Amino acid sequence: MAKIKIAVAGCLGRMGQELSKQIVKNNKLEFVGGFEHKKHKDINKQFKNVSDIDSNKIIDSNPINSIKTANVVIDFTTPQSTLENVKIASQNKTAVIIGTTGMTESEKKKVKSYAKKIPILMSSNMSLGVNLLFNLVQQTARALNDTDYDIEIAETHHKHKMDAPSGTALSLGEYAAEGRKISLNKSKVLDRTKKLTNRKKGDIGFSVTRGGEIAGEHTVSFIGENDRVDLVHKANNRSIFVKGAIDAAIFLSKKKSGFYSMNDLLFSN
C-alpha cells in the first residue's frame, strides 16, 4: 500500500514539531516536508539540524511546494495563514486538516467554501476523548433543562496560549446550546465584571485559567439546586492531539471533497 504523503504547516511550532516527529516515525505515512513563516530564523535549514525531527528535508518558506506534493496538509497555525494554505490546497487538490483556533465565523465560512473542491476536516480539538465529550455535553444539556440546571464551562491551558476562551471551550458551549436549542451568541457570558447582575436563566458562563505548561483541561458543570454533574476532560500532554490529527489525516486521505469533523472519524466504524 502506498504511503500517505503528509505536509505540516507551521512545522516548527509547538504542535508542528510534534506532528512532524510522529509522521516521520509512522510507517503508513511519508513526511513530504513542512513550511514556516518566511521570517523564521531556521528557513532553508535541514530539520534534523534545528529540531528533534529526524529528516533531511529543508524547512521551506513557500507553502506551495509542500502542499502540491502532499495528499494531506495538517495546519495548526493562525487564521490568516490557514486561509492562505487552504486556498493553495484547493488549487492543488490537497486535503486539509485544520486544528487552528481563534477563527471568526466569516473565516470559518470561507474555509467551508473551499470544501466544495477538496476534503477538509476542521476541529477546535483533535482529541477523540474531547470529541466524545462534545456529544456527552449535548446529550446532558438536552436532558437537564435550564430551569433546574445552570451551565458553567471552565478551561485551563498553558501560559503560551493566546486565545481565550479556548476554541474547545467555545465548542463545548456550542454543543450545550444546541442541546438546549438556544443560541450560544445570545447566552454566553464571558465577563461578569462589567455589569453587576444576577445570573440569568439560560446563561452559559465561561472561566479561563492560564499558567505553566498545562496541555488542556475542560470542565462542563451542570449545577442544580441539590446536585451537580461535571463532565471533565484532562489532557496529560499534546500526544493525544497529535494522534488525533494523524488519525484524521489518514481518514481524510480516503474521502471526497466535503467538510468533515472529528465526529465523522469518531463514528466512522
pLDDT-based confidence at residue 269 (cuts at 50, 70, 90): low
**Catalytic residue IDs:** 157, 161
Identify the domain containing residue 42 by its residue range: 4-122+238-266
- Asked if residue 52 and residue 16 are part of one domain, the reply reads yes
Q: What is the pTM of this model?
A: 0.85
- Asked if residue 72 and residue 163 are part of one domain, the reply reads no
**Measured between alpha carbons, how far apart are the two ends of the chain, in Å?**
21
pLDDT at 24: 96
- Asked if residue 229 and residue 155 are part of one domain, the reply reads yes
The dihedrals phi and psi of 92, each to the nearest 5 degrees, come to -115, 10
- 68 half-sphere exposure, CB direction, 13 A CA radius: 5
CB 124 within 8 A of CB 168: yes
CA distance 5 to 254: 12
CB 244 within 8 A of CB 22: no
- Asked if residue 114 and residue 45 are part of one domain, the reply reads yes
Helix (H, G, I), strand (E, B), or coil: what is residue 12? coil
Which residues partner with 72 through β-bridges?
Answer: 6, 95
In angstroms, how far apart are the furthest CA atoms of the chain? 63
pLDDT, average across residues 8-23: 95
Q: pLDDT tens digit string along 36-61? A: 999 999 999 999 999 999 999 999 99
Q: pLDDT tens digit string along 95-114? A: 999 999 889 999 999 999 99
Q: pLDDT tens digit string along 159-179? A: 999 889 999 999 999 999 999
